[in-house]
Amino acid sequence: MQDNRCATSEEVALLRERVARVEGGHDHLRDGLDTLSRQFSDLRRDLTHSVAENAARTRHEIMARVDDMSRDAQNRDAEVSDRLARIEGGIRLANWAMLTCITLATGLLGWEQMGSAVWRFLLSVTRFSS
C-alpha cells in the first residue's frame, strides 16, 4: 500500500510558481498567435490589394495596346481603301478611254466603208452613163 502524503507549503508554493510560469507562457503564446494572426490578415489584405492593382494596371496596358493595334489596323484599312479607290478610278478611266477609242474606230470604219461604197456607186454611175 501506498502512503498518502500531504504537500508542504513550500512544495505548494513551488508548484504554484510553476503553474504561474506555465500560464504566463501560455498567455505569451496566445498573444504571439494573435499577433501572427493579425500580421497574416494584414499580409493577405496587402497581397489582395497588390494583386488587384497589378491586375488593373495589366488590364489598362492590354487595353491601351489593343486600342493602338485597332488604330493601326484602321489606318492601314484606310490606306488600302484609298489605294483601291485610286486603282478603281484608273480602271474606270482606262475602260472609258478604251470604249471611246473602240467607238470612234468603229464609227470611222463605218464611215469609211460608207464613203467607199458611195465612191464605187458614183464611179459605176459615171461609167454607165458614158
Task: Spell out where the chain has E strands.
Answer: none
Angle, CA 71 vertex, CA 65 and CA 73 arms, to 5°: 100
| Prediction pTM value | 0.49
Q: Which residue has the cell 459615171?
A: 126
How far apart CA 18 and CA 12 sit, in angstroms, is 10
In a domain, 19, yes or no: yes
Q: Render pLDDT for 48-105 as a digit per residue (tens, 0 to 9).
A: 999 999 999 999 999 999 999 999 999 999 999 999 999 999 999 999 999 999 999 9
Does residue 102 lie in a domain region? Answer: no
The whole domain housing 48 covers 1-96
pLDDT at 4 over 80: no
Within a domain: residue 14? yes
Q: What cell numbers appear for 122 in the block? A: 458614183
For position 79, what pLDDT does the model report?
Answer: 96
Domain count, the chain: 1
C-beta separation of 15 from 7 below 8 A: yes
**118 in a domain, yes or no?**
no
